[in-house]
């Protein structure tokens, strides 16, 4: 399979001379088409910076990020927004639905900026709404929906334009456990059925256990990487816990 | 230290304060300009009559300034409130750091003081230049020469400083009060709350909009039929209010039925934003629309009166002086017989005899007339006596100006009407019977006077009857008008004449002598006063309305930044975002202006009729261009400013 995302030795520095923070330190990895990859790490490890760089919202100091064969680091500002529009889908922790638009219109917006005709918009939204079980939410406004429903609408918005890569930033961060489960099951079903490539940043072990592969980041570097392979979700969950307990600092750090 | 903090705040948030500054600057300068008429007196070469009237204008302006300073006060308070709201988090931080409320208030007081000081000085400077321009306008209207030099009006400066100091004092008190009211948690969590609002199903929103249009149309219709002003205003205001209440729902429904348009680019977002904005601010929009109407109306009236009065000046000129002589005996005597006048100075003497009727309109059967007309007639019967003019006198004056004489039968009369506001009512009296004395007469016509009977225009109403129809011994008076020999000063002649008249109060109860110079001065002064009142009120109301619109837009920029961030993340380009901002601000600014303009087109006719200026209005192009220029400058300026600020705010938020 092809690599949909290739990250080569990216570095991201904050601050100025004499006081430099390395948020990302020569980080490299790749994501294959159809993969559901998780990024984990403690606060300040650089995982959100990584996501923002891949999302073309932030710029790296050096290195390459290649998405679907295109080096996004070299793109100009105008090209970047077009690239985001055409290639990427976003799911945010706080849903980020537009509060003045109905659920239907929120989803439709990401197609209407692609100049898709209204008939096609309707067919695609209806198909997705069925998958995400939000058919009865479509005519409602975000404030009339529960958190779980809002996030499912947001997922539908991210997926409706058939992006080559979906980026999810703590998608369950604002949801209760039941809604989280529903959402993650749907995400992984989408991934299996339609080969949607998903990159999810989280520090919730339960969420991470739905991924196929997990990258652990610490101090801007890759600390560890584990794959689910054929093991059960429960076994994978425990494997993640083990890595986390080491990641959190070993006993030598505690005096 | 607090002063330093305040200074830094003002400097740092100058962008937030920019619209506040701009508004203050404009208000102060306009206030100064229209109070600085004493300065014009010095520059313009005015004659005695003009000077007296000029002082009158000065007084009127000062009185109007009370109203203007109230409007300015509210406007400044509104703008200040907007700034405080935007700074809630900053104020919350001060509180968190342990600063006492009184200290925070003190910082705000210093800030207000600084802003006030800067804008007062700047506004006075600007007003100083503006007032020079106004002086030139006065010179133009009065057609007098200018003895040009820069002068500075001390009373105007004092009045401006005093008024605005009072306003700033109120602002300071308000800020202190509001700081005391805030809870820390509210300040820190001053984020938006998604509003829930009433949404109507499709038919209801369509019906509401239709009702709004119907009400507005009704108001226009009542205006055309010259209905009761109060009722027209009420119906019109209700229609306007309902218009903005239902506009967004209606607009959304309409556009939704064109999915090709609705789901293109950001259209769905722009329309939804506008929908939310218009429906949450429909009250404000209605007020702004009516305020704009007031402003445009004031400007339009002011400038058109100018046109009207210029036309009115033409007929003046046949007579030089006019005075009134009583006829207690009931018989007309030689009008100048008892006076010692220099016969060389007098070219010709004309007298119009007018007699007091015994009865007025109460003798007319008006049961088939509308209620408004009936009450109009009643008011006139109660207020003033109906004068009766003998046909021979009337025809003499007609002949003087080369018109064909009027013929009347014994039982006939003609209603002479100088009051254009009553034209319709008097027209309705045609072929009815009126009994000014003992015999009933038929009104065969209601006409406007073709000629002048004195130096002044004829403004009232009178009956023209055959000479024999007036019973002997009826009381009345003579309006005596004199044409003077070439090159004589009517003012000097009038002064001498007036002294003589004062000696015989029985014959001359009112010894004032009206002169042509005076009439011209008065006419051009009315003209100038209307122009200035229009300009003054018009510009202040215009600024007030547009500032409210601008603040409404800017106050949402913070909330909107959040929405644009989402749009930017899902791949909407900066160009597209800017375009959507422009579209939103344009619609928001233009909607009330358009409605106000339509209102004005229909309402203007009514205003002109009320001011009895109907006949004189011929050329409306010039005032229209002038007004458009003023509106474009102020409205357009604030529009561009609002667009740029919103764009910058959002661009900064997206960085």
- C-alpha distance from A70 to closest chain B C-alpha (Å): 17
Nearest to B269 by CA among A52, A43, A137, A110: A110
Q: How far is CA B654 from CA A18, A138, A167, B577, in A?
A: 28, 29, 19, 11
Output the CA angle A197-A199-A205, nearest 5 degrees: 125
Within an 8 Å CB–CB cutoff, is residue B346 touching chain A? no
> Which chain B residues are closer than 8 Å to A109 by Cβ?
266, 268-269, 567, 570
To the nearest whole Å, the CA of B646 is away from the closest chain A CA by 19
Yes or no, beta carbons of A115 and B260 under 8 Å apart: no
State residue A229's pLDDT score.
Answer: 85
pLDDT attached to residue B387: 86
Residue B561 sits at the chain A interface (C-beta within 8 Å): no
Q: Reply yes or no on whether the pLDDT at B146 is more than 70.
A: yes
Band (pLDDT 50/70/90 cuts) for residue B614 is: very low
- In chain B, whose CA is at the least distance from the CA of A82? B571
CA distance linking residue A138 with residue A145, whole number of Å: 10
- In chain A, the residue whose alpha carbon lies closest to the alpha carbon of B263 is A112
Contact criterion met (CB below 8 Å) for B465 and B408: yes
Contact predicate A211/A222, CB 8 Å: no
The whole-number pLDDT of residue B191 equals 55
Task: Report the side by side order of strands in the sheet with A213-218.
Answer: A88-91, A165-169, A198-201, A36-40, A213-218, A221-227
Q: How far apart are CA B150 and CA B409, in angstroms?
A: 66
The 10s digit of each residue's pLDDT in B80-100 is 888 887 777 788 888 888 888
pLDDT band at B308 (very low <50, low <70, confident <90, very high): low
* Residue A240 distance to chain B (closest CA, Å): 31
The helix (H) or strand (E) run that includes residue A227 is strand A221-227
Q: Enumerate the residues of chain B whose CB falls inside 8 A of the CB of residue A142.
A: 194
| C-beta atoms of B569 and A98 within 8 A | no
Residue B591 pLDDT: 92
Alpha carbons B527 and B533: distance in angstroms, whole number: 10
d(CA A186, CA A180): 10
Any A CB within 8 A of B571 CB:
yes
Distance CA A222, CA A238 (A): 20
Please tell me if residue B340 touches chain A, with a CB cutoff of 8 Å.
no
Q: What is the pLDDT of residues B579-613, one digit of tens each?
A: 999 999 999 999 999 999 999 888 877 776 666 54
List, in sequence order, every residue forming a beta bridge with A27; answer none if it has no partner: A10
Residue of B nearest to A163 (CA): B570
Task: State the Cα–Cα distance between residues A73 and A54, nearest whole angstrom.
Answer: 9
Collect all residues of chain B within an 8 Å Cβ-Cβ radius of residue A107: none
- Are B574 and A77 an interchain contact pair (Cβ–Cβ within 8 Å)? yes
Average pLDDT for chain B? 82
Higher pLDDT, B419 or B438: B438
Between β-strands A36-40 and A198-201, what pairing exists: parallel, antiparallel or unpaired? parallel
**Cβ–Cβ below 8 Å for B569 and A99:** no
**B571–A81 CB contact, under 8 Å:** yes
Yes or no, beta carbons of B263 and A113 under 8 Å apart: no
**Cβ A140 vs Cβ A105: under 8 Å:** no
Q: B237 or B454: whose pLDDT is higher?
A: B237
pLDDT in tens, A94-127: 888 888 888 999 999 988 888 888 888 999 999 8
Chain B: closest CA distance from residue A167 (Å): 11
Contact B536, B68 (CB under 8 A): yes
* 3-class SS letters over B546-575: HHHHHHHHHHCHHHHHHHHHHHHHCCCCHH
CB contact under 8 A, A85 and B262: no
Sheet holding B412-417, edge to edge: B433-434, B441-447, B412-417, B461-465, B387-390, B346-356, B476-484, B321-326, B514-515
- Name chain A contacts of B264, Cβ cutoff 8 Å: 112, 115
Q: What tens digit of pLDDT does each residue of A130-144 get? A: 888 888 889 888 888
The larger pLDDT score, comparing residue B188 to residue B556, is at B556
Contact map slice: B 238-267 vs A, CB within 8 A: 259-260, 262-267
Residue from the list A82, A86, A98 with its beta carbon closest to the beta carbon of B566: A98
Residue B263 has its nearest CB partner, among A57, A112, A142, at A112
Contact yes or no for B459/B419 (Cβ under 8 A): yes
Q: How confident is the model at residue B533 (pLDDT cuts 50, 70, 90)?
A: confident
Residue B68: band (very low, low, confident or very high) from pLDDT cuts 50, 70, 90: very high
Residue B278 has pLDDT above 90, yes or no: no
Query: How far apart, in whole angstroms, are the C-alpha atoms of residue B424 and residue B410?
Result: 26
Contacts of A57 in chain B (CB under 8 A): 569
Tell me what the mean pLDDT of segment B407-418 comes to: 86
Q: Supply the pLDDT for residue B588.
A: 92
Of A97, A65, A93, nearest to A174 (Cα)? A93
Angle in degrees, CA A10, A14, A17, rounded to 5? 115
- DSSP letters spanning A59-90: --SEEEEEETTEEGGG--HHHHHHHHHHHEEE
Nearest to A112 among B196, B265, B565 (CB): B265
Residue A193 CB partners (closer than 8 Å, separation 6+): none
Round to whole Å and give the CA distance between B643 and B104.
Answer: 32
pLDDT at B587: 93
The reported pLDDT for the residue numbered B615 is 47
B-chain residues near A157 (CB < 8 A):
570
Residue of A nearest to B570 (CA): A85
Out of A99, A110, A117, name the one closest to residue B570 (CB). A110
**Interfacial B residues in 130-189 facing A (CB < 8 Å):** none
Contact B263 A86 (CB under 8 A): no
Residues in chain A within 8 Å Cβ distance of B572? 81, 85, 113
The sign of the torsion formed by the CA atoms of A54, A59, A60, A63 equals: positive
| CB nearest B268 (choices: A97, A101, A117) | A101
| Per-residue CA distances from B637 to A234, B25, B292, B631, B640 (Å) | 66, 14, 16, 9, 5
Range with the lowest mean pLDDT among B93-102, B163-172, B329-338, B366-375? B329-338
Dihedral angle, C-alpha B315, B316, B318, B320, nearest 10 °: 180
**Closest Cα of chain B to A187: distance in Å?**
19
Q: pLDDT band for position B126 (50/70/90)?
A: very high
B577 CB-contact burial (10 Å; exposed 0-12 / middle 13-18 / buried 19+): buried
CA distance A159 to chain B (A): 11
Do the beta carbons of residue B516 and residue B319 sit within 8 Å? yes
For residues B517 and B49, the answer to whether their CB atoms sit within 8 Å is yes
Alpha-carbon span A44 to A170, nearest angstrom: 15
- Determine whether the interchain pair A113/B569 forms a contact, defined as Cβ–Cβ distance below 8 Å: no
Residue in A with minimal Cα distance to B275: A100
When comparing pLDDT for B539 and B53, which is higher?
B539
Q: Is B276 on the interface with A (CB under 8 A)?
A: yes
pLDDT higher than threshold 50 for residue B329: yes
Per-residue pLDDT tens digits of chain A, which is 255 residues long: 678 899 999 988 887 777 788 888 888 999 998 899 999 988 888 888 898 889 888 888 889 999 888 888 888 877 888 888 888 888 888 888 888 888 999 999 988 888 888 888 999 999 888 888 888 889 888 888 888 899 989 999 988 888 889 999 888 888 888 888 988 998 888 888 888 899 999 888 888 999 999 999 988 888 888 998 888 888 898 888 888 888 765 555 555
The dihedral built from the CA positions of residue A29, A21, A200 and A238, taken in this order, carries a sign that is positive
Closest CA to B443 of B455, B453, B434, B456: B434
Question: Who among B264, B267, B276 is closest to A100 (CB)?
Answer: B276
In this predicted structure, the answer to whether residue B524 has a pLDDT above a threshold of 80 is: no
Alpha-helical regions (H) of B321-407: 371-383, 391-400
Rg (CA), chain A: 19
Contact B444/A at CB under 8 A? no
Question: Of A78, A92, A101, which is closest to B272 when you measure between CB atoms?
Answer: A101
What is the CB neighbour count within 10 angstroms for residue A140? 16
Check CB contact under 8 Å for B570 and A57.
no
Q: How far is A129 from chain B (nearest CA, A)?
A: 18
Residue A207 token pair: 């969420």
How many Cβ pairs closer than 8 A exist between chain A and B?
A: 83
Taking the Cβ of residue B569 and every Cβ of chain A, the question of whether any pair is shorter than 8 Å is answered with yes
């Amino acid at each position: 399979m092809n690599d949909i995302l290739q990250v080569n030795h990216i570095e991201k520095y904050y601050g100025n001379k004499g006081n430099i923070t390395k948020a990302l330190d020569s980080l490299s990895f790749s994501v294959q088409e159809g993969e559901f990859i998780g990024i984990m790490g403690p606060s300040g490890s650089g995982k959100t910076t990584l996501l923002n760089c891949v999302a073309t919202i932030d710029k790296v100091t050096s290195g390459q990020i290649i998405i679907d064969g295109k080096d996004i680091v070299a793109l100009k500002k105008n090209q970047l927004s077009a690239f985001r529009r055409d290639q990427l889908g976003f799911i945010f922790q706080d849903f980020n639905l537009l509060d003045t638009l109905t659920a239907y219109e929120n989803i439709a917006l990401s197609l209407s900026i692609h100049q898709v005709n209204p008939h096609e918009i309707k067919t695609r939204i209806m198909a997705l709404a069925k998958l995400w079980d939000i058919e009865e939410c479509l005519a409602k406004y975000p404030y009339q929906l529960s958190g779980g429903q809002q996030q499912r609408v947001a997922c539908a918005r991210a997926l409706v334009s058939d992006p080559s890569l979906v980026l999810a930033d703590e998608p369950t961060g604002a949801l209760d456990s039941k809604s989280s489960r529903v959402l993650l099951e749907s995400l992984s079903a989408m991934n299996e059925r339609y080969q949607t490539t998903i990159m999810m940043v989280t520090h919730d072990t339960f969420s991470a256990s739905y991924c196929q592969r997990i990258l652990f980041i610490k101090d801007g570097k890759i600390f560890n990487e584990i794959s689910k392979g054929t093991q059960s979700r429960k076994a994978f969950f425990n494997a993640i816990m083990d890595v986390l307990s080491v990641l959190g600092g070993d006993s030598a750090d505690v005096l | 230290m607090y002063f330093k903090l305040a200074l830094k705040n003002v400097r740092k948030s100058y962008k937030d304060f920019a619209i506040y500054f701009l508004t203050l600057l404009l208000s102060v300068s306009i206030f100064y300009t229209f109070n600085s008429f004493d300065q014009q007196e010095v520059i313009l070469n005015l004659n005695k009559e003009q000077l007296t009237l000029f002082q009158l204008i000065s007084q009127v302006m000062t009185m109007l300034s009370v109203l203007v300073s109230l409007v300015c006060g509210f406007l400044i308070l509104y703008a200040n409130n907007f700034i405080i709201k935007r700074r809630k988090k900053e104020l919350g931080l001060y509180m968190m750091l342990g600063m006492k409320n009184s200290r925070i208030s003190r910082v705000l007081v210093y800030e207000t003081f600084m802003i006030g000081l800067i804008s007062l000085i700047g506004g006075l400077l600007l007003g100083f230049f503006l007032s020079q321009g106004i002086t030139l306008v006065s010179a133009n209207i009065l057609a007098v020469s200018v003895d040009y030099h820069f002068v500075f009006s001390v009373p105007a400066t004092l009045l401006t400083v005093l008024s605005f100091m009072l306003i700033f004092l109120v602002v300071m008190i308000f800020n202190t009060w509001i700081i005391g009211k805030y809870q820390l948690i509210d300040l820190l969590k001053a984020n938006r709350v998604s509003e829930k609002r009433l949404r109507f199903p499709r038919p209801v929103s369509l019906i509401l909009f239709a009702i709004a249009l119907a009400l507005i149309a009704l108001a226009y219709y009542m205006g055309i039929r010259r209905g009761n002003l109060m009722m027209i205003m009420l119906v019109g205001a209700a229609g306007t209010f309902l218009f903005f209440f239902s506009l967004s729902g209606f607009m959304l429904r309409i556009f939704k039925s064109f999915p090709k348009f609705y789901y293109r680019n950001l259209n769905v977002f722009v329309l939804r934003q506008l929908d939310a904005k218009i429906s949450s601010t429909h009250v404000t929009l209605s007020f702004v629309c009516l305020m704009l109407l007031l402003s445009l109306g004031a400007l339009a009236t002011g400038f058109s009166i100018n046109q009207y009065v210029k036309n009115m000046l033409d007929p003046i000129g046949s007579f030089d002086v006019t005075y009134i002589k009583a006829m207690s005996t009931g018989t007309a005597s030689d009008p100048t017989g008892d006076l010692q006048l220099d016969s060389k100075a007098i070219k010709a003497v004309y007298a119009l005899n007018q007699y007091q009727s015994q009865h007025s309109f109460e003798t007319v059967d008006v049961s088939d007339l509308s209620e408004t007309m009936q009450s109009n007639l009643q008011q006139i019967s109660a207020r003033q006596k109906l004068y009766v003019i003998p046909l021979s006198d009337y025809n003499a004056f007609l002949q003087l100006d080369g018109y064909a004489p009027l013929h009347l039968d014994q039982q006939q009369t003609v209603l002479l009407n100088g009051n254009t506001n009553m034209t319709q009512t008097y027209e309705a009296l045609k072929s009815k019977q009126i009994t000014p004395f003992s015999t009933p007469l038929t009104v065969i016509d209601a006409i406007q006077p073709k000629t002048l009977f004195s130096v002044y225009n004829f403004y009232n109403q009178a009956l023209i009857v055959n000479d024999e129809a007036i019973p002997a011994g009826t009381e009345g008076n003579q309006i005596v008008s004199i044409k003077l020999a070439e090159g004589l000063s009517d003012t000097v002649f009038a002064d001498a004449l007036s002294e003589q008249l004062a000696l015989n109060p029985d014959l001359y109860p009112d010894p004032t002598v009206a002169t042509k110079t005076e009439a011209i001065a008065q006419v051009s002064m009315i003209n100038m006063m209307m122009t200035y009142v229009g300009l003054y009120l018009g510009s202040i109301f215009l600024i007030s309305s547009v500032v409210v619109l601008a603040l409404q837009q800017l106050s949402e920029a913070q909330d909107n930044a959040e929405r644009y961030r989402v749009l930017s993340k899902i791949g909407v380009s900066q160009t597209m975002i800017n375009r959507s901002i422009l579209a939103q601000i344009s619609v928001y600014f233009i909607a009330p202006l358009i409605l106000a303009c339509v209102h004005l087109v229909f309402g203007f006719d009514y205003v002109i009729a009320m001011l009895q200026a109907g006949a004189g209005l011929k050329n409306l192009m010039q005032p229209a261009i002038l007004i458009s220029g003023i509106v474009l400058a102020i409205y357009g300026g604030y529009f561009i400013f609002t667009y740029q600020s919103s764009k910058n705010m959002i661009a900064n938020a997206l960085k």
